[in-house]
Amino acid sequence: MVYWLFFLTKLVMISALTGAMKRVAIIGAGISGCSAANVLCALGGGGVQVEMFDQGRKEGGRCNTRKHKHHGIEHIFDHGTQYISPKNSEFVSVIKDWEKVGIVKKWDSFRLANIACANGKSKIELAMSAQQNERFVGYPGMSAICEHLIDSELISTKFGKAVEAIRSSDGGWNIYSKDSGALIAENFDYVICSERKLCMNFMAQQSEQSTDGSPDGTSPKSSPCIVAMVCLDEDMSDMMKNMQFTAAMVDGNEKLSWISVDSSKPGRVDDGKSRLVLQSTPEFAKNIIEEVNLEFTGASVKEIRNAVVKASEAQLYNTLLDIIEDATECERGELDAKKPLFIKGHRWGAAFPALGTSLEQEGRCLVDEENGWVSIGDYFEYPGKVEGGYLSGKAGAKAVLHLLDRQAK
Ligand SMILES: Cc1cc2nc3c(=O)[nH]c(=O)nc-3n(C[C@H](O)[C@H](O)[C@H](O)COP(=O)(O)OP(=O)(O)OC[C@H]3O[C@@H](n4cnc5c(N)ncnc54)[C@H](O)[C@@H]3O)c2cc1C
């Protein structure tokens, strides 16, 4: 703490003396990029200017909330991160701070079930007692967290542009877009990158020893996931409530891996209807993406994407009906007749770090001091978790501040 106070005073003095703000480009405005931006502003003493670049329409990345208007009704879902269950003490205190400012709340009604599927039948087992670990959710939606983290005048954002390349020049780092290879922004002192492929490309260029560029030769890979966001009518919602769970791990099913009753989270619309998020297995997502690609050879990326989500929506929803049928002994014909009020799929091409390919052993980020490049993301410590992304971004920001400190000596 004392060190950071001393350091902060020094940074203010440096920027006052030189009049030069240090410019940091952050690629990716998910939780890791937003955490880095937040820490740079909080500890940078006003001497660091942050510019964020993201291909999406807004911040949040996989920790996000989707809104759809359908027949005059607004449906809101956390279609990526479902909840946060902090393990690390540093992150536990961050969650406490977020709870105080009201951007996260405990998911008090969280009731976990395990759904075991075998031989075409499913069996629901409710967890015995209240869960030991507390589950937190963004309030009023997951997107509140990243929105809060980058709410600063020192942070500017450029959305809707995919970055293709980041190259160094005499003036510093320059950022180029994917559409046309055009220069988007230039002369950054440091780059903090949370986009896995750009990071791997950079490391590959730097490292001649390792074939794929990552420190130990393992390149982090990711697995896909498709989610279906579903709103059930009152009848079906009552059936769901009778099953008594608000979240379920699905075991042994080739299509479905997770069910969240999103509407049971605090602050969500309370209109008597259940809104669910159905999460596919990675294998299902991989297979259906491959099948559709084969079937639609020559179609545009958008057409293929739409075909993938359409085919997945129906299959994931039907799997849910199989489970309800087994749990309630309701006639299948009756269930089929009750169409969902709303259903929409979403494809996450890179949902989670693939098993065995994270860079956990490297700590929380990778720092190239000589070039002023820091790689962050959720494939370091606590892989595939918001916790990992947050801690990685924080570590990346601190690494840049240390480099600035060293430069000033
Ligand atoms: C369906 C699903 C459920 C999940 N459930 C949970 C859960 O319950 N609990 C939990 O802790 N974690 C969960 N996770 C994982 C969690 O969401 C991630 O670990 C975390 O959000 C990763 O944050 P990140 O900033 O590292 O990456 P991201 O959120 O992916 O951020 C990277 C950003 O980079 C942008 N980007 C990518 N390429 C480019 C480019 N070329 N140019 C510019 N921008 C680019 C993307 O748009 C994105 O915004 C879940 C993830 C998914 C998909």
Q: Could you read off the pLDDT of 115-166 as tens digits, one per residue?
A: 999 999 999 999 866 556 799 999 999 999 999 999 999 999 999 999 999 9
C-alpha of residue 126 to centroid of ligand 1, in Å: 29
Radius of gyration, CA atoms only, the chain: 23
Residue 18 has pLDDT above 70, yes or no: no
C-alpha of residue 247 to centroid of ligand 1, in Å: 21
DSSP 370: T
C-alpha of residue 328 to centroid of ligand 1, in Å: 36
Residue minimizing CA distance to atom 27 of ligand 1: 30
pLDDT tens per residue across span 84-117: 999 999 999 999 999 999 999 999 999 999 999 9
Regarding the beta carbon of 367 and ligand 1, being less than 6 Å apart is answered no
Name the token pair of 32.
């890791």
Regarding the beta carbon of 61 and ligand 1, being less than 6 Å apart is answered yes
Regarding the beta carbon of 162 and ligand 1, being less than 6 Å apart is answered yes
Residue 224: cis peptide before it, omega within 30 degrees of 0: no
Which pLDDT value is given to residue 17? 45
Regarding the beta carbon of 77 and ligand 1, being less than 6 Å apart is answered no
- Please, are residues 227 and 345 in contact by the beta-carbon 8 Å criterion? yes
Per 3-state DSSP, what percentage of the chain is helix, strand, and coil (rounded to 5)? 35, 30, 35
Q: What is the mean pLDDT of the chain?
A: 91
Which pLDDT value is given to residue 219? 80
C-alpha of residue 333 to centroid of ligand 1, in Å: 39
Regarding the beta carbon of 107 and ligand 1, being less than 6 Å apart is answered no
User: What single letter denotes the amino acid at residue 283?
Assistant: E
Question: Confidence band (pLDDT; 50, 70, 90) for 357?
Answer: confident
Give the domain 69-87+105-141+222-352 fold.
Answer: Polyamine Oxidase; Chain A, domain 2 (3.90.660)
Regarding the beta carbon of 30 and ligand 1, being less than 6 Å apart is answered yes
Regarding the beta carbon of 24 and ligand 1, being less than 6 Å apart is answered no
Regarding the beta carbon of 55 and ligand 1, being less than 6 Å apart is answered yes
Which pLDDT value is given to residue 209? 47
Strand order in the sheet with 163-169: 163-169, 172-177, 183-188
Residue minimizing CA distance to atom 34 of ligand 1: 28
Region 369-388: mean pLDDT is 96
Q: Where are the domains of the chain?
A: 2-61+144-219+360-408, 69-87+105-141+222-352
pTM of the model: 0.94
Burial 107-122 (b: 16+ CB within 10 A, else e): beebbbbebebeeeeb
Q: Ligand 1: which of 27, 31, 58, 63 to mutate, judged by most atoms within 8 Å of the beta carbon?
A: 63
Residue 283 has pLDDT above 90, yes or no: yes
- Please, are residues 258 and 115 in contact by the beta-carbon 8 Å criterion? no
How far is it, in rounded angstroms, from Cα 290 to Cα 293?
5
- Please, are residues 26 and 33 in contact by the beta-carbon 8 Å criterion? yes
Superfamily of domain 2-61+144-219+360-408: FAD/NAD(P)-binding domain (3.50.50.60)
Q: 365: closest CA among 381, 386, 382, 387?
A: 381
Same fold: 2-61+144-219+360-408 with 69-87+105-141+222-352 = no
